[in-house]
A = this chain, B = another copy of it.
Amino acid sequence: MTRLVYISGELVPEHEARISIFDSAIMLGDTMTESTRTFRHVPFKLDEHIERLYQSLKLTRIDPQMSPAEMKRVTLEVFEANRPNYAPHEDAWIVHNISRGLSVAGADPTKQLGAATVMIFTQPMNLLPWVDFYSKGCHGVTPMSRMVPSQSLDPRIKNRSRLAYTLAEMEAKLVDPQAQSVILDLDGHVAENKGGNIFCVTKGVLRTPSTVNCLAGVSRATALELAKGLGIPTEETSLLPYDLATADEMFFTSTPYCIMPATKFNGLPVGDGQVGPVTKRLLGAWSELVGLDIVAQAEAQRG
């Protein structure tokens, strides 16, 4: 069965899911977004994702013409409509992309001229790019370019004008084609990965940048909550590359992979170069929370 995509009120087959090239999504990167994943076919923290989506819409003055409750209802309907595509052991990624709608040449781009373009789709979680990292750890690399500062565009407005992130990721991959970016802010402090947050463990304390320079990630919040539940002390603070290079453990958090261990940073081993015990405990606690073995599910994709 083909997957169905929701576009502004209609369900259409994925291969027919198209929008006008005059949409502000294309003309201006003017799209607010969220990505939610399911565990055992249950969307994880959907309320938090929808709350954050509406904050992004508020700050950018896009009117989705739906209440958060309607958005949630429609989201669940879209997932239900597609659910037959996902085997019981598989999970899905549910993506919201909401643009300001049609853009007219010469018109004021800050005014919404008609209906917003609401796109909701599901996709199978493709975890293959990361699956080996659960056991071996990935390589974090800092790009030469720096995060767009909050005074230019707050990273907590989750949006699709992502060229700066894509270029930073390219720069990191000059060092190692498998590298995951560790983007610094203008002061040289660790900010975020192109699509995730960054953590380290030093002398038993779990540390991550405060949200003054990065996305307030839902997965980031989950990792912090799990740590608190396990009695692991946590700290939201300024981190520098020195902190990552001398940490005992390091990992990324993001919706698709939850926690991705990193065992190398700018060519140096992190800790003893192995995935560390705190990282494993957090991954284990997350698996318990959602009732499935996150690593096993990913490794199953390796076939």
Q: Which residues of A contact B (CB under 8 A)?
A: 5, 7, 15, 17-23, 25-31, 55, 58-61, 93, 95, 97, 99, 104-110, 119, 121, 123, 125-130, 141-154, 156-157, 159-164, 166-167, 169-171, 173-175, 184, 186-189, 194, 210, 212, 237-238, 240-242, 245-246, 256, 266-268
- Say whether A21 contacts B28, CB under 8 Å: no
Residues from chain B with a CB closer than 8 A to the CB of A107 are 126, 129
29 residue pairs bridging A and B, Cβ less than 8 Å apart: A17-B20, A17-B22, A19-B19, A19-B26, A25-B26, A26-B31, A26-B119, A27-B97, A28-B162, A55-B246, A59-B268, A106-B126, A106-B127, A109-B166, A110-B170, A110-B173, A144-B144, A146-B149, A148-B153, A149-B152, A149-B187, A150-B240, A154-B241, A157-B163, A161-B162, A186-B186, A189-B212, A210-B238, A212-B238
Residues from chain B with a CB closer than 8 A to the CB of A105 are 93, 95, 123, 126, 256
Q: Which one, B106, B128, B141, B186, contacts A151 given CB within 8 A?
A: B186
- Say whether B245 contacts A59, CB under 8 Å: yes
- Say whether A163 contacts B171, CB under 8 Å: no
Residues from chain B with a CB closer than 8 A to the CB of A171 are 266
